[in-house]
Amino acid sequence: MEEISLPEDAMDTQGFELSREARAQADVKFTYVVTCQIYGKQKQDKKLEAADIALLMQ
């Protein structure tokens, strides 16, 4: 496996990218994925909350 080489200033001390835009985009994607997972489980269980999430995802 190859290691990915990043410039020293690309990461802060906690390993997060310094770019606010990159962090915001990652947060939005994470939220979307988790929402889809929750929606899938609720839809499978035929819960009423699934309809609310389906509406928000439109």
Which pLDDT tens digit goes with each residue over 1-58?
A: 556 555 555 555 466 556 888 888 999 999 989 988 988 999 999 998 898 888 887 8
Q: Whole-model pTM?
A: 0.55
- The predicted structure's pLDDT at residue 27: 93
Spatial contact of 35 and 57, defined as CB atoms under 8 Å apart: yes
